[in-house]
Structure 1
Amino acid sequence: MNLRDATGLRVLITGASGTFGRALAAELTSRGARVVGLDVAPRADDPITVIRCDLTDDVAVPAAVAQALEELGGLDILVNNAGIGGPAPAELAPGEEVRRQLDINLLGTWRVSAACVPALVASRGRVVMVASRMAVMQLPLAAAYGASKRAMVAYADALRLELGTHVGVTCVYPSAVRSPIHDSTAKAGLSLEGMSSYEPLEGVVATVLRAALSPKAPRDLPTTRKGAVELFLARHLPRLTDRIVARTFSSRIRSGAFADATLAAGAVARQAEIDARNDAEARA
């Protein structure tokens, strides 16, 4: 596919010091774009200028965006890439972990986008939302992440309807990429290894570039062929995808993957009850 020349395009990336953000910034810079980032923890070796910004701060976000736009001289492309994950079973009451994920993944995206709207309207610009496959196909034990990404897509849909005459809005749906975003879930003993196959970072970067630089903004973009199939099934055959995920989850529980995970104790107990009942019926 032919992509627009990125030379001189003014780009703002959130989460710019993370795995996705750094790779995307380097690629866009190599194509001639002018790129500035926002991140809560900029790194000394960031390939671009990264402004320190806590996306949960209602006051800090507009100020940081204003600083970025002043440096860029306007804005052509906003990439809402910042996001966090973490353990959050749906059966447990929401606590600080859940609020943190919603505040960063959903409301952080909303704060930054709102601050950028005037500049994007003026340039007839584009917004790229780095969502997730979990926005359409939820995995167990990570309810906050899936809920935040599904809400992020709903926000993108509303933004597209409101600004679509002037601004393109695209949602990109990566699956799992090896990065520190999975560390807290693994530490809690809730790793979803075996439930989600990893994809290369390069494919995600290429898809974000396609969203940002296509002549016309696509609406939704999976990052792999498998992702395209999953997106289709999740939207058109949701009961089938539920069964596939549930079967895989049960298999992971039986393998002992969550045996030491306190947060998964309920799921483990329920699976044991079902297995015991099935064994009794088989012996009867």
Structure 2
Amino acid sequence: MAQRDLTGSRAVVTGAAGTFGRAIGDALRARGVRVVGLDLTASADAAAPVLACDVTDDDSVATACAEAVDRLGGLDLLVNNAGVGGPAPATEPPGEVVRRQLEVNLLGTWRVTAACTPALVESRGRVVMVASRMAVMALPLAAAYGVSKRGLVAYADALRLELAPAVSVTTVYPSMVRSPIHDSTAAAGLSLEGASQFEPLEGVVATVVRACAARRAHRDLATCRRVGAEMFLARHLPAVADRVVLRRVGERIRAGAFDDAPLAAGMVSRHRTAGRRGRED
């Protein structure tokens, strides 16, 4: 699809100090975009300014977004990238880990977008949502992340309809990229090594830039062919997708990958009990 010249465009990128955010900001600047980042901690770097913004706090979001728009003199692009992860089994009561993922990944995106909407409408701009393959193809023991990202997609779909035709909304679906977002999951003994394939950061960044630059806005964009195939499978043949995930998880359980993970104990026990019963039958 043809791309437009982004030179002189004005963009806000959330989660700007993280692995994705820094790379997205740098890639947009390389295309001539003026970028102001938002993150928990401010940075005075003149080439890559980041304003302090807690996306879980209404007042912080309102103040930071207003300052960003004022600095830029308007807003053409909003890249909602901020996100957190962490293990959260669906069988456990929702605690702080769950609440934080919903607050940052879903409600934080909602707050920032609402604060930026007037400026985006004025410029007839574009919103890019960084969702996840897990929004459509869930993985066990990561319920909060999947729920938050599926909710983000639902929010993007509603936003697209409300802002049309003035503002376009594109949702980008990365798979797994090596970054600190997976550290807490690995620390809990729930590493996804072997259960899901990692993809290079460069592909995710290129897809986000493509979403920003497309002359005619995409609705949804997968970051690579494999993710696109998995999304198609999950949307059109969900029972088959479930079996694929369960087979991979079963292989990991049989290999003992989760034996030292308390959060996985129930799932491991159920799989092994079912396996013993199957052999007895």
Normalised-by-shorter TM-score class: over 0.9
Paired residues, what number? 281
Conservation of the 8 A alpha-carbon contact between 1:26 and 1:47? no
Corresponding residue for residue 50 of structure 2 = 50
Pairing 1:1-284 to 2, within 5 Å after superposition: 1-42=1-42, 48-281=48-281
- Corresponding letter in the other structure for 2:246: A
2:58 partner SS: coil
Q: State the Cα distance separating 1:45 from its structure 2 match.
A: 6.6
1:105 partner SS: helix
- Corresponding letter in the other structure for 2:239: R
- Corresponding letter in the other structure for 1:132: S
- Corresponding letter in the other structure for 2:56: T
Deviates more, 1:43-52 or 1:105-114: 43-52
- Corresponding letter in the other structure for 1:194: G
Distance 2:81 2:46 in 1: 16
Which ranges of structure 1 fall in alignment gaps of 5 or more residues?
none
Q: State the Cα distance separating 1:43 from its structure 2 match.
A: 5.4
Sort the Cα spacing of 1:206 and 1:87 in 2 relative to 1 into closer, same or farther, 3 A. Answer: same
Distance 2:151 2:30 in 1: 33
Conservation of the 8 A alpha-carbon contact between 2:133 and 2:231? yes
1:197 partner SS: coil
Distance 1:10 1:245 in 2: 41
- Corresponding letter in the other structure for 2:73: G
Distance 2:249 2:124 in 1: 45
Conservation of the 8 A alpha-carbon contact between 2:90 and 2:141? yes
Which ranges of structure 2 fall in alignment gaps of 5 or more residues?
none
Q: State the Cα distance separating 1:165 from its structure 2 match.
A: 1.1
2:240 partner SS: helix
Instruction: Tell me the alpha carbon deviations over residues 200-221 of structure 1, each in whole angstroms, 9 at most, x when there is no partner.
Output: 1111011101111100110000
Distance 1:188 1:165 in 2: 45
Distance 2:183 2:91 in 1: 22
Conservation of the 8 A alpha-carbon contact between 1:17 and 1:46? no
Conservation of the 8 A alpha-carbon contact between 2:43 and 2:49? no
Q: State the Cα distance separating 1:27 from its structure 2 match.
A: 1.0
Sort the Cα spacing of 1:280 and 1:44 in 2 relative to 1 into closer, same or farther, 3 A. Answer: farther
Distance 2:182 2:47 in 1: 24
2:140 partner SS: coil
Distance 2:211 2:115 in 1: 21
- Corresponding letter in the other structure for 1:190: L
Q: State the Cα distance separating 1:280 from its structure 2 match.
A: 2.3
Deviates more, 1:33-42 or 1:43-52: 43-52
Using the size of structure 1 for normalisation, the TM-score is 0.97
Conservation of the 8 A alpha-carbon contact between 1:22 and 1:46? no
Conservation of the 8 A alpha-carbon contact between 2:43 and 2:51? no
Distance 1:195 1:122 in 2: 45
Distance 1:87 1:276 in 2: 27
1:154 partner SS: helix
Instruction: Tell me the alpha carbon deviations over residues 172-224 of structure 1, each in whole angstroms, 9 at most, x when there is no partner.
Output: 00000000000000001111111110111111011101111100110000000
Conservation of the 8 A alpha-carbon contact between 1:37 and 1:49? yes
Q: State the Cα distance separating 1:116 from its structure 2 match.
A: 0.4
Distance 1:43 1:255 in 2: 45
| Percentage of matched positions with identical amino acids | 65
Sort the Cα spacing of 1:140 and 1:125 in 2 relative to 1 into closer, same or farther, 3 A. Answer: same
Q: State the Cα distance separating 1:41 from its structure 2 match.
A: 2.9
User: What's the Cα RMSD here?
Assistant: 1.2
